[in-house]
Structure 1
Amino acid sequence: MEEEARCFLGRFVDEFPAALEEGSPLPVSPLSCKVSLEELYGESLELGLRLLALRGAPPVLSALLCQAALSQLLQSDLSPFHCPQEAEANQEEQIVVLLHSEAVQRHFLNKLIDEALAWQQNFIKLPSSPSRFLQSSVHAIKNTRRKMEDKHLALAEFNQLFGIQDGVERAYYAVFDGHGGVDAATYAATHLHVVLSKQETLQGDTATAFKTAFKHTDDMFRGKAKRERLRSGTTGVAALIQGQELTVAWLGDSQAMLVREGQAVTLMEPHKPEREDEKQRIEDLGGCITFMGCWRVNGTYAVSRAIGDFDQKPYVSGDADCSTTQLFGDEDYLLLACDGFFDAVKPSAVPDLVLDALQQPGNSEEGGETQLKQSKEIIGRRVAQHLVSHAKEAGSSDNITVMVVFLRPPEQLLSQDSTTGTAQATQDSTSQNTPQQ
């Protein structure tokens, strides 16, 4: 990996031998035209990771470079990038300082270029990747929908990206299924993990940290939605693997499931309007559930919890649910997907579908090291692609996103016996309650 990192740094410094000049076009476009000080953290990291990924940077190096560049940015005087404050109709509202994204992100990218040059001139040994987070497989399609409104994030380098050095291995994975536009899904994919990283309860009470992070991200998006007159919403499911503990948090009907020794493990129950406790919660607030092709909240949204959808808050709740499961080393993989997958594929069918993908011709360990590495990458891609294709063939017309996080090498799964059926293991759960508004 170090040789790969050195080669990348050489190419990167050749492409960016000097700082980007004021007024010059950026090599990647920022997500927003204007950004608040709180949003700057997530949007800068997203921009930096995207730039480096497009150029083939090793993920660990990308995380370290972005973290260092962001630290430098946040220590800078950002006042030159402030937008003129507009007169507010309601003077009692707190004034939010906004920055011109293009200008401040040019400043950030210049910090990133400086960090890359420093690394090239004085190469630092890269930390080894956590052994458990071997491989993830992701595939997403627009399908027959007019727009793609799903977003996802796989971040095995959680600690490196946020400069966490407490000796506990962490990896973060998330899938967001937007509706009414992609803005809410993009926002959640950009900021939820950042907000989570700042929670003091992250290590001792991850469920509380997740719930707080979801709620705060919803509140942050409310500000952006008001400023930019956005009306979208998004469901989401996110997982944090922390040491020997897996915590899953969710809003709406995107789902996560675990497979242990070939058997599906139920981790959660999705939030749907027709779920009895969700129906009761909404009715207690004065709302109603009506059937219009599917069950909908007040005749509008087909989900009962989401980030965004502010025209139907609090009926569409922004409170996440969480479950925590201990990992014992016999887990095969974690799967996260949107409802475009789970509406067409039963969780009990997933283990056999994954084995089908792994057993396809061409998945061989024969050959040299380079060929073996390429073979493993192909295996990883095929698994998610096979699952998505099966969901489409089963009748799904929605956007489909599937993410498989292997907790042991995929090739090891081929040697175990597959147990078909609907067996569901019982999990150790430290938090499985439904928050109320």
Structure 2
Amino acid sequence: MEEEARCFLRRFVEEFPAALKEDDPLPVNTPSHQVSVEELHGESLELGLRLLAARGAPLGLSALLCQAALSQLLKDDLSAFHVPCEAESDQEEEDKLVLFQSEVVQRLFFNKLIAVALSWQQDLPLCPPPSPRPLLCSVHAIKNTRRKMEDKHVVLAEFNELFGTQDGVERAYYAVFDGHGGVDAASYSATHLHVVLSKEEMLHRDAATAFKSAFKRTDNMFRGKAKREHLRSGSTGVAVLIQGQELTVAWLGDSQAILVRKGQAVTLMDPHKPEREDEKQRIEDLGGCITYMGCWRVNGTYSVSRAIGDFDQKPYVSGEADCSTIQLSGEEDYVLLACDGFFDVVKPSEVPDLVLKGLQQTGDSEEAGDLSSEPPVSGVGQRVAQKLVGHAKAEGSSDNITVMLVFLRPPEQLLVQR
């Protein structure tokens, strides 16, 4: 890894030999004009990781560079970048937030990143050793026949490196978000949920409690952005944290995750749908209703009963996540995360055979419509998600489809055991 890191740093500092000037365009566009103090952490990391990924940086190095740059940024006095008070004059006093001019403060972040890269190119610090059991992840996403792509996904095997965690416990985070009414809520969740989770005091002791708090906090943060920018979108989501020998899944809405152990599907969760009896009762107890309009909908609007966003239907559409945790025994094959564009046409019990079939088919060319962020790759297991997406489309799914498989042991072993 050290030689690869040095090679990348040499290339990077050739492209960015000095700090960006005030009139230089940012190398990556910011997603908003204003950013709150809480949002600054996630937005900066997202922009930094995108910049480095586009230039082929090793994933571990990217996480370490961004973490170091952000740490330096947060030590600075950023009050000069506050949005003038008159820009917030339409807000109630209790709702006022400290907001920054996003482009200006992110220029400072990029300059911190460049400075760290220049320093490390001269004197590379000791990098942590790679994981003794890196997890292969196969992910594929398509817009399908929909007009827009509103799914987002996150693959973060470098959770500890990104957040400077050094407690000896390996962590990896994976998530799929399925937006509706626009992509804003899904994008926001993909940018901020794992950052909020990393700050939860209970994370190391009780990941499920930490996840519930993180989902709720992310929903509240998005409420502020939605109010400022007049956004009306929502997003379901499913996220998995592997922490040592423990796997925790958290979800809102009908995006799902399933575990496969020794070739058999293991139920991890029950998706939130309006017609689920306890969800129906919860909504009716609040004074709402569910109605059938081609599918079951909350108050005749959304077809999901829990989501980030959808503030016009809160609290009927709840932002409270559910969680479950299992201990990993070493016999687990993989965990699969996907949106309803997949699970509406594929039963969880069908997944093991579909994955096995995908593992047996290697070397096929990529299908059109690939919107995944992964580079073209080959090898056993790498293209399985693509096969599953293709199957869901062939079965009649017209929705956006995102499928992610995280192999908990080498996929070659799954072929041998069958």
- The one-letter code of the counterpart of 2:320 is D
SS at match of 1:73: helix
Q: Gaps (5+ residues) in structure 2?
A: 365-374
Q: Gaps (5+ residues) in structure 1?
A: 364-373, 418-437
In structure 2, what is the equivalent of residue 283 of structure 1?
Answer: 284
Kept in 1, the 8 Å contact 2:362–2:379? The answer is: no
In structure 1, what is the equivalent of residue 178 of structure 2?
Answer: 177
Q: Tell me how far 1:413 sits from its aligned partner.
A: 1.3
In structure 1, what is the equivalent of residue 157 of structure 2?
Answer: 156
Q: Distance in 2 between matches of 1:346 and 1:36?
A: 41
Deviations 1:215-270 (A, max 9, x none): 00000000000010000000000010001000000000000011111111110000
- The one-letter code of the counterpart of 2:222 is F
In structure 2, what is the equivalent of residue 72 of structure 1?
Answer: 72
In structure 1, what is the equivalent of residue 193 of structure 2?
Answer: 192
TM-score, normalised with respect to structure 1: 0.91
In structure 1, what is the equivalent of residue 371 of structure 2?
Answer: none
Instruction: Report the CA distance shift for 1:31/1:379 in structure 2 as closer, same or farther (over 3 A).
Output: farther
Kept in 1, the 8 Å contact 2:363–2:378? The answer is: no
Please give the residue correspondences for 1:212-227 in structure 2 after superposition, counting only pairs within 5 Å.
212-227=213-228
Q: Distance in 1 between matches of 2:189 and 2:266?
A: 26
Q: Distance in 2 between matches of 1:105 and 1:379?
A: 40
Deviations 1:367-391 (A, max 9, x none): xxxxxxx997443431110010000
Q: Distance in 2 between matches of 1:416 and 1:376?
A: 24
Answering whether residue 416 of structure 2 is matched by residue 415 of structure 1, we say yes
SS at match of 2:383: helix
In structure 2, what is the equivalent of residue 429 of structure 1?
Answer: none
- The one-letter code of the counterpart of 1:12 is F
Deviations 1:358-412 (A, max 9, x none): 111449xxxxxxxxxx997443431110010000000100000011111111112
Kept in 2, the 8 Å contact 1:139–1:381? The answer is: no
In structure 2, what is the equivalent of residue 122 of structure 1?
Answer: 123
Q: Distance in 1 between matches of 2:2 and 2:12?
A: 15
- The one-letter code of the counterpart of 1:261 is K
Please give the residue correspondences for 1:32-181 in structure 2 after superposition, counting only pairs within 5 Å.
32-85=32-85, 86-89=87-90, 91-181=92-182
In structure 1, what is the equivalent of residue 330 of structure 2?
Answer: 329
In structure 2, what is the equivalent of residue 420 of structure 1?
Answer: none
In structure 2, what is the equivalent of residue 4 of structure 1?
Answer: 4
Q: Distance in 2 between matches of 1:47 and 1:351?
A: 36
Question: Identity across aligned pairs (percent)?
Answer: 76
In structure 2, what is the equivalent of residue 433 of structure 1?
Answer: none
Q: Tell me how far 1:73 sits from its aligned partner.
A: 0.4
Please give the residue correspondences for 1:225-240 in structure 2 after superposition, counting only pairs within 5 Å.
225-240=226-241
- RMSD between aligned alpha carbons? 1.5
Q: Tell me how far 1:80 sits from its aligned partner.
A: 1.9
Q: Tell me how far 1:137 sits from its aligned partner.
A: 0.7
In structure 2, what is the equivalent of residue 271 of structure 1?
Answer: 272
Kept in 2, the 8 Å contact 1:133–1:406? The answer is: no
Q: Tell me how far 1:353 sits from its aligned partner.
A: 1.3
Give the number of equivalent residue pairs.
407
Q: Distance in 2 between matches of 1:238 and 1:351?
A: 20
TM-score, normalised with respect to structure 2: 0.95
SS at match of 1:234: strand
Q: Distance in 2 between matches of 1:375 and 1:209?
A: 35
Q: Tell me how far 1:4 sits from its aligned partner.
A: 1.6
Kept in 1, the 8 Å contact 2:274–2:303? The answer is: yes
Q: Tell me how far 1:93 sits from its aligned partner.
A: 2.5
Q: Distance in 1 between matches of 2:173 and 2:179?
A: 19
